[in-house]
Amino acid sequence: MSSDEITRREVLVLTAATGGLLAGGQLMWGPVSPAAAQDAASTPTPLEVMLRINGKEHRLTLDPRTTLLDAVREHLHLTGSKKGCGLGQCGACTVLMDGKRVKSCLSLAALMEGREITTIEGLAQGEVLHPLQAAFIERDAFQCGYCTSGQIMAGVACINEGHAGSPEEIREWMSGNLCRCGAYDHIVAAIQDAAAAPSATQGG
């Protein structure tokens, strides 16, 4: 509201009219009801959670609010899976769950018991890179590298699903993974290369 030329009284009216849209002059994360505020002092019961990540079992005591992504990053220090939004809108957190690609930021860790989770750290066989990892280097399919883990995990799934038939198909089936550096053209080339490699359909 440009209020350069309006009077103080109008300002007050405007404040009443449009300021009221906002969180009652509250905080960015919004008003919490008094009852909820009191309740908040209580600790949510921590949960014992057994997560199976890259073939290894991890027993963790987790806040029920902890997402699978935060569990691997903050608790297991497997920071290869990236957080780019925490809202399922970027794909940087992509992991494989029972061989299928999922966004780990949208899953509560406590609900992942019994699932086989593969992260980027579990993709290479020792020192031998997965063909898609090697193709990413060869094709220069990344710049800053932050979306790369998610692109590779999604790309592995894309190949395994049989969605790597043409560049157009790859582009559609990789569209859940944003790359702000704009490496898309090279990512598609890398996926095509890896799809043609003999040992590509593995990993997760």
Q: Where are the alpha helices (DSSP H) in 85-166?
A: 131-139, 148-160
Identify which of residues 136 and 200 has a Cβ nearer to another protein in the complex.
136
Q: Which two tokens stand for residue 83?
A: 């957080």
> How near is the Cβ of 113 to another protein at its closest, in Å?
9
Cα 18 to Cα 4: distance, rounded to the nearest angstrom: 16
Identify which of residues 46 and 196 has a Cβ nearer to another protein in the complex.
46
Helix (H) / strand (E) element for 69: namely: helix 68-70
Q: Which residues pair with 67 in a beta bridge?
A: 108
Identify which of residues 85 and 197 has a Cβ nearer to another protein in the complex.
85
> How near is the Cβ of 198 to another protein at its closest, in Å?
19
> How near is the Cβ of 145 to another protein at its closest, in Å?
3
CA neighbours closer than 13 Å in the CB half-sphere of residue 14? 10
Size of the chain in residues: 204
Q: Which two tokens stand for residue 147?
A: 């979306």
Beta strand 94-97 with 116-118 is antiparallel
Q: Which two tokens stand for residue 188?
A: 């598609």
Identify which of residues 134 and 197 has a Cβ nearer to another protein in the complex.
134
Identify which of residues 57 and 127 has a Cβ nearer to another protein in the complex.
127
> How near is the Cβ of 128 to another protein at its closest, in Å?
11
> How near is the Cβ of 57 to another protein at its closest, in Å?
19
